[in-house]
């Protein structure tokens, strides 16, 4: 992450990890696949059946901000995506994705 300073990639992949983990949880616990890409909305939909940890949906909202503009050059009025993200953005994205992944792991390991 730090070598090139292209923190946009860490932000994007953090979103992806959280999204895919939540989809796996939905399949395991609810038997459904939801094709949406919003981490926050997946958490909201899961909250109908599973207790979601305090603040996790808000963290999903931040991760959702990294879904499109981290990848597409035309998402910004100027410059490539890597010019718009900082080390702090990447660290926060990694932290929040880790929290989602730990939540999913606990839920997957629980008896349904």
- Parse the chain into domains and list their residue ranges: 7-107
pLDDT, tens digit, 9 for 90 and up, residues 27-48: 999 999 999 999 999 999 999 9
Q: Roughly what angle, to the nearest 10 degrees, separates helices 7-30 and 87-109?
A: 20
Q: pTM score, two decimals?
A: 0.92
Could you tell me the pLDDT band of residue 4, with boundaries at 50, 70 and 90? low
pLDDT at site 110: 86
Residue with tokens 């895919």: 20
Q: Which residues of 43-64 are buried (b: 16+ CB within 10 A; e: fewer)?
A: bebbeeeeebeeebbebbebbb
Residue range 7-107, CATH number: 1.20.120.330
pLDDT, tens digit, 9 for 90 and up, residues 57-86: 999 999 999 999 999 988 989 988 888 999
């Amino acid at each position: 992450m730090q070598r090139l300073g292209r923190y946009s990639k860490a932000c994007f992949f953090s979103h992806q990890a959280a999204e895919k983990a939540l989809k796996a949880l939905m399949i395991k616990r609810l038997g459904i696949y939801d094709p949406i890409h919003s981490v926050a909305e997946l958490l909201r939909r899961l909250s109908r059946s599973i207790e979601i940890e305090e603040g996790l949906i808000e963290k999903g909202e931040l991760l959702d901000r990294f879904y499109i503009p981290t990848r597409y050059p035309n998402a910004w009025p100027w410059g490539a995506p890597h010019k718009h993200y900082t080390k702090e953005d990447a660290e926060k994205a990694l932290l929040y994705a880790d929290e989602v992944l730990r939540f999913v792991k606990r839920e997957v390991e629980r008896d349904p």
